[in-house]
Amino acid sequence: MKPAQFDYYAPASVEEALDKLAELGYEGKVLAGGQSLIAAMNFRMARPGSLVDLNNIPELSYIKPTADGGLAIGTMTRVYAVEHSPEVAKRFPLLPEVAHYIGHAQIRRRGSFGGAIAHADPSGQLPGIAKVMNAKCLIRSKGKEDRWVDAADLIIGPFMTVIEYEDLLTEVVLPPNPPRTGSSYQQVARQNGGYALAACASVLTLDDKNKCQDARLILMGVGEMPILSDKVKEILIGQEPTEEAFKEVGEAVQSEIDPSSDLNGTSEYRRDLIRVLVPRSLALSLERAKKGS
Amino acid sequence: MAQLIPIKVTVNDTVYERQVEPRLLLSDFIRHELGLFGTHVGCEHGMCGACTILFDGEPVRSCLIFAVQANGHQIKTVESLGSPDHMHPLQEAFHEKHGLQCGFCTPGILMTVVPFLEEHPHPTEDEIREAIDGNICRCTGYEKIIESVQAASEKMSSGK
Ligand SMILES: Cc1cc2nc3c(=O)[nH]c(=O)nc-3n(C[C@H](O)[C@H](O)[C@H](O)COP(=O)(O)OP(=O)(O)OC[C@H]3O[C@@H](n4cnc5c(N)ncnc54)[C@H](O)[C@@H]3O)c2cc1C
Ligand code: FES
Ligand code: FES
């Protein structure tokens, strides 16, 4: 199908974009990579009155180291650029590992890093990954103070965030991980580039006695939002990271998820996937934490 | 009244100036405004890959870009590769190895594989499979496509 009529604006700077968004109010919508929005418009599931295109704002595309050893990523940085950045690979190997699974290369060439988070698709990877990495999102709008929102607080429901009509997500900051941290991603999908039936990512930090200093786990595709597990912390922090403990986490998180059934997999099947994927991811993260990466 | 926006786009090294409605997809612009029917449209939601073109050298879905967004950019479509008398080595390889049956998916696959072979002149089978995982082919079962890409990489690296 074809999109419904809309007005189009292509501001050349962030300030201009904020002015336009403030002026348009409910009528306006941000166009980033368009890899979700234009598809939805072609189906007429989305019928925005006006689009404010960010593709002509070069100042929104960058990957910059922060003073504390983290990274700041401009919202319009293409997922493909994040996937292939040596800077990202060095500090956050989890990102290229995950990005590889997002859609197809042609989608990642255009889809933006911030757009994928702002879209808050419950089957998408990056909203959950931003959460498990403790990312901070910079939200700007005209006439208001800049706001820093934790990725964990950004997403409030399926396809719903605290980003309002006049707001722009401009930057995502990833704080550095302590030494002896390892991370990994696991997913099962029907085919390459297909949305995952179930997925998880874990980040483990070891103390100098090889006990778990910190453990973070995000469960994706098995609820209305990416779910940050509390159970993993209850079971692992301060403990020896053993295979048995990882299996216990896989069982315990069952109470935290609420997968639905669809054509591609039943709720029971998705639960079972999580039971298997969680210990796998934790074991891989442990191995990497021991290597200090 | 619908907005009409003037754009200037370079497609296959020719500069075109047109007035377009914002809602016109780049795929439809290429086909209906420019008459370049080599770019195929299968699904219009990014799934099938038939509409893949090069946008400033990068393979992307032309059904998920508006024509207005191409203003000032360089587009290459399958027509840029070669002609029936002077085929691109990749087209020759598809011809020789039966890399197509109905040919619907072929333009998108070619435009995906051209930049892929530039970055991977000697690809493994797994790399080829991954490179075309965003292109759906209903006919060939992919085996012949993979053979064709392998044959093309050999042709191209031996300079034939
Ligand atoms: C065939 C196909 C397969 C895909 N597979 C996957 C997959 O496996 N996993 C996955 O995670 N994704 C997948 N995607 C989606 C893809 O990753 C999208 O690129 C991404 O979800 C949205 O990013 P975008 O830059 O294209 O945003 P757009 O589509 O432009 O925008 C999405 C939404 O976010 C809003 N938005 C975007 N940027 C901002 C901003 N800076 N400030 C405020 N609001 C903003 C827009 O207004 C819109 O509502 C797939 C897409 C396709 C077409
Ligand atoms: S028509 Fe564009 S991907 Fe199918
Ligand atoms: S040759 Fe028919 S779809 Fe690929």
Q: Residues A273-285: pLDDT tens digits? A: 999 999 999 999 9
User: What pLDDT does A288 receive?
Assistant: 97
Among A5, A35, A192, the residue with its CB nearest the CB of B133 is A192
DSSP-derived 3-state class of residue A21: helix
User: What pLDDT does A221 receive?
Assistant: 92
Residue A254 clears pLDDT 60, i.e. is over it: yes
Structural domains in chain B?
5-79 (3.10.20.30), 89-158 (1.10.150.120)
Nearest CA to ligand 1 atom 27: A115
Distance A165 CA to ligand 1 centre (A): 17
User: What pLDDT does B47 receive?
Assistant: 95
Mean pLDDT of all residues belonging to chain A: 96
Residue B116 clears pLDDT 90, i.e. is over it: yes
Q: Answer yes or no: are the C-beta atoms of A118 and A221 closer than 8 Å.
A: no
User: What pLDDT does B158 receive?
Assistant: 86
CA–CA min distance A196, chain B (Å): 15
For the stretch A91-101, pLDDT in tens is: 999 999 999 99
Chain A residues contacting B, CB < 8 Å? 1-8, 10, 34-35, 38-39, 41-43, 51, 53, 55, 103-107, 109-110, 191-193
Instruction: For chain B, give the percent of residues with pLDDT over 70.
Output: 99
Q: How many CB pairs under 8 A join A and B?
A: 83
Q: Are the beta carbons of A7 and B22 separated by less than 8 Å?
A: yes
For the stretch A121-147, pLDDT in tens is: 998 999 999 999 999 999 999 999 999
Average pLDDT over residues A251-264: 95
| Angle at alpha carbon of residue A227, lines to A221 and A230, rounded to 5° | 145
Neighboring chain B residues of A103 at a CB cutoff of 8 Å: 46, 134
Residue B85 clears pLDDT 70, i.e. is over it: yes
For the stretch A198-212, pLDDT in tens is: 999 999 999 999 999
Q: Where does the pLDDT of residue B134 fall: very low under 50, low under 70, confident under 90, or very high at 90 and above?
A: very high
* ipTM of this complex prediction, to 2 decimal places: 0.95
Query: Please, what's the b/e burial string for A116-149 (b: 16 or more CB within 10 A of its CB; e: otherwise)?
Result: bbbbbbbbbbbbbbbbbbbbbbbbbbeeeeeeeb
Q: Where does the pLDDT of residue B1 fall: very low under 50, low under 70, confident under 90, or very high at 90 and above?
A: low
User: What pLDDT does A193 receive?
Assistant: 80
User: What pLDDT does B160 receive?
Assistant: 55
Give the number of whichever ligand sits closest to the CA of residue A100: 1
Residue A18, both tokens = 């904020």
Write down the H helix ranges in chain A.
Answer: 14-24, 37-42, 79-83, 86-91, 94-99, 105-108, 113-119, 126-132, 151-154, 231-236, 243-252, 267-290
Q: Report pTM.
A: 0.96
Structural domains in chain A?
7-53 (3.30.43.10), 58-174 (3.30.465.10), 181-291 (3.30.390.50)
Residue B109 clears pLDDT 80, i.e. is over it: yes
Average pLDDT over residues B42-53: 97
Residue B31 clears pLDDT 70, i.e. is over it: yes
Protein residues with CB under 6 Å of any ligand 2 atom = B 41-44, 46-51, 61, 63
Residue A293 clears pLDDT 80, i.e. is over it: no
Distance B123 CA to ligand 2 centre (A): 25
User: What pLDDT does A59 receive?
Assistant: 98
Closest residue on chain A to B53 (Cα)? A106
Among B3, B60, B69, the residue with its CB nearest the CB of A106 is B60
Instruction: For chain A, give the percent of residues with pLDDT over 90.
Output: 95
Q: Are the beta carbons of B66 and A193 separated by less than 8 Å?
A: no
Give the number of whichever ligand sits closest to the CA of residue B31: 2
- Total number of residues shown for chain A: 293
Q: Where does the pLDDT of residue B92 fall: very low under 50, low under 70, confident under 90, or very high at 90 and above?
A: very high
Residues with Cβ < 8 Å from B128, sequence gap 6 or more? B116, B146, B149, B150
Burial class (CB in 10 A: 0-12, 13-18, 19+), A26: exposed
For the stretch A143-188, pLDDT in tens is: 999 999 999 999 999 999 999 999 999 999 999 999 999 999 999 9
